Amino acid sequence: MRSRGNIAAPPHLPQSLKVEVKFTTGTTISVPKREREALLDNDRNVVGVVAALFWCGKRDIDGRWFIVDAAESFRSGKTEGGSLGVQDLRRIEKSQPWLGGVRKHVERMWPPFLCAFGELALAGHKALQAELREEHRVGKLGNHLGDAAVLDMEHRRAVQAIVETHGTSMAGHIFQDLLAYLLGLAGYQTIRTNPVGVPDIAVSGLIDAGPHDRVTLDLSRPQVETLIRLARKAGEAILADKLELRIANM
């Protein structure tokens, strides 16, 4: 497998992502040829991924996203699709470190993000989509996140409520939009969602300082955590998320 480590992107996140989103109550996802072809791109700055969310009655699986590079996850030819089980996704994730920044952001921020917008998601897909779009436009997505940690039980309950309220199909669309704007929270300025075509999500325009605009500071973890709290209170959600990604690797 080829490494993504040398692409022209920030250390933790690809410059652009194409995402095919899968939500299932089983333990296997299917990625047809048409969907996989939409994720392939000749531009090394664009990474096509499959993001799968499971709700199958297994505590270690339910409610978490599995994210794998589509171009590197199928042993068949580039134009073929295929199926992947949850154990396959776990194994593939370990062999694709170039997506570590994306996974860490999603893993860390998904429970509080879902908690923040869960009630709106229960109200309806259109209302949720409109609110997410507007909050992203004005740069205030992060303002909705609380400081308290979200317990696993609370997170699973939030996922279950959406599934039971809207049914599997509509819940899949809701989770797709939530994932799209969760990625926007990482610093992607442009977000496109596609409810009927492929790919499901495309994000680009990653905000990142150039090499001559960087400042190196020697800070302790508690000091960084203080900066994160202050950044969120000031409405600097992107700064707070970048700092959280940094200390996740400390």
In a domain, 9, yes or no: no
Number of independent structural domains in the chain: 1
Taking phi over 0 as left and psi of -120 to 50 as alpha, with beta for the rest, 20 belongs to beta
In a domain, 227, yes or no: no
In a domain, 122, yes or no: yes
Model confidence pTM above 0.85: no
Per-residue pLDDT tens over the stretch 93-103: 999 998 999 99
In a domain, 188, yes or no: yes
In a domain, 202, yes or no: yes
In a domain, 6, yes or no: no
| 83 vs 26, residue with greater confidence | 26
In a domain, 11, yes or no: no
Per-residue pLDDT tens over the stretch 126-154: 999 999 999 999 888 888 887 778 999 99
Per-residue pLDDT tens over the stretch 72-91: 876 544 445 588 999 999 99
In a domain, 225, yes or no: no
Per the structure, the complete domain to which residue 159 belongs is given by: 16-207
Instruction: Find, among 99, 72, 97, 98, the residue nearest to 84 by Cα.
Output: 72
Per-residue pLDDT tens over the stretch 187-244: 899 999 987 889 999 999 998 644 444 455 677 888 888 888 888 877 777 677 777 7
Give me the pLDDT at residue 220, please.
Answer: 83
- Length of the chain as a residue count: 250
